[in-house]
Chains A and B, each alone.
Chain A
Amino acid sequence: MEGFEPIIIAFVCNWCTYTAADLAGTSRLPYPKNVRLIRVMCTGMVDPQYIIKAFLEGADGVLVSGCHPGDCHYISGNFKARRRIKLLKEILPQFGFNQERLILTWIGASDGIQFSEIMRDLVSQIKALGPSQAKLKMVI
């Protein structure tokens, strides 16, 4: 897919992954501009609807990233998020969205280096999948 620059919508937890992104920034660690961060207070507040909307609007990938198990500031938000991701990975393929386009990761507040690495891996994974059909075809 020559010249394909995916758009990835990332819902990141304020307390960890967002802080890690900040750390990556202050440490001058670059990460691909394909990833558009949306800061949320916890992965537990990411309604499946947000993810579905992003895909239907043509996002090539969606990332949800929060605190490591045991570190969620609201105790269990990330465990609930994990179930919702599991659920969506069952539903998305029937609508033609490869389940690999939806990614869940745990990136802690001090993981600035990991953040920039994971974002690079993420972009290459999505690039390999090619552009989302929702971008190319009319969606009702």
Chain B
Amino acid sequence: MAITAKIGVNEQDVLGALRKFFEDILKIEDIKAILVPQHLPMKNMVMPTLVADPDHLHGVDPLAPAFPMNAAKIVSRLTRKPMGAKIAAVMRPCEIRAFVELVKLKQGSTDEVVIIGIDCLGAYQNKDYARFIEQHGDTSSVIFYQHIMDGHGGQIGGIDLAPACKACEYRVAANADVLIGLYGIDVNDQILIQAQTDVGQDLLAQLDLAEINEPAARQGAVADVIEKCAAYRDEMIAKTREVTESLEKMTAYFAGCVNCYNCRVACPVCYCKECVFVTDVFNHDPSQYLRWANRKGIIKMPTDTLFYHMTRLAHMSTACVGCGQCSNACPNDISVMELFRTIAQDTQKSFDYEAGRSFEEDPPMSVFREDEFAEVVGITN
């Protein structure tokens, strides 16, 4: 039977209770470090930190509505080769889902990492979080999670959750070894801790936790958030389909794109070591541009904008987890996530695949069956 336990919260200090939990994990003999989001001492920004010394967990804050990057990329970096030691990593559900995809692409491994998934309350886009923290300072995370837990949603003082989070139905971590549960829990009193795998079970067995039954309110609370997010998602996808339904509309959608490729740098599942779009293949001969301009009368510079986005969709949409880091990284406010989630829904469905769902399912482009997809072969009329 999997361990379900709680950590007690004293004087409503939820972050303090989490910090203590992480300290205890770090004190376990074979856990040599813990990766956890933390306010940096020099600036209030929240970033993933790799902490080896329990005394350096003061700024720990996995509840901050900040999501500067998808930490799957960091965990991939830490696990792509044996480290020679075991670490724990505190991750949001979309980070775990992206990591699942990277592991299947052999760009990471679960051998030396204990994944600690935390219920996701959502996050602001980077520039919004900077404003939020400026307005509320040290109390910002407390204000945020209280607002969410009280059922008032994520919009506070004109700042609202990132569209990716509003549309995200994966608020509870699947594929984590240990789950930290917040939804449906009176977090000012206790936080739910659950083992989901044998690895998680082993870890929790080494901590002195009070076992409890899962609070009855949890299932319903989780179902409620998921329902709201799924409704937002469906509306978002329908709207995106409408505004991009022709080549002309799609061109307008990306008209502000400057081919900076930030979206693919930020994307956790854009897995190529070197993107073809930054190689010499796309450093066309100067005379080539003139030939294109002559042929069409006019070309937009830089060229190959739609080519880039379509190629990215072909390469990674089956692995898109909808984390929204692409939109977060775009200097020109292009709704990249909206389109990628829309098309990812089609491509993933057509292969009966869901990014991040399981370590076992093969990525669709890495396998085939001899007898499949007869409908795409031949002339149709």
Contact = CB atoms under 8 A, between A and B. Distances in A.
A-B complex is real: yes
A95 B377 contact: no
B310 to A, nearest CB: 5
B247 A134 contact: yes
Contact of B373 (A49, A76, A83, A137): A83
A110 interface: no
B311 A52 contact: yes
Contact of A133 (B241, B248, B303, B378): B248
Interface residues of B, number: 47
Contacts of B379: 103, 105, 118, 121-122, 125
A129 B373 CA distance: 23
Contact of B347 (A80, A91, A103): A91
A125 B380 CA distance: 8
B241 A94 contact: yes
A95 B250 contact: yes
Contacts of A118: 379
Interface stretch (B19-27, B45-53, B162-170, B364-372): B364-372
Most buried by B among A48, A85, A86: A86
A90 B347 contact: yes
Interface stretch (B66-74, B84-92, B94-102, B313-321): B313-321
Given A83-B365, A87-B365, 11 more contacts: A48-B315, A52-B311, A56-B306, A80-B368, A83-B364, A86-B373, A87-B314, A91-B310, A91-B313, A105-B377, A125-B380
27 contacts: A52-B311, A79-B370, A80-B368, A83-B351, A83-B365, A83-B368, A84-B314, A87-B351, A90-B350, A91-B310, A91-B313, A91-B346, A91-B347, A94-B241, A94-B245, A94-B339, A103-B379, A118-B379, A121-B379, A128-B381, A133-B247, A133-B248, A137-B248, A137-B251, A138-B300, A139-B306, A140-B305
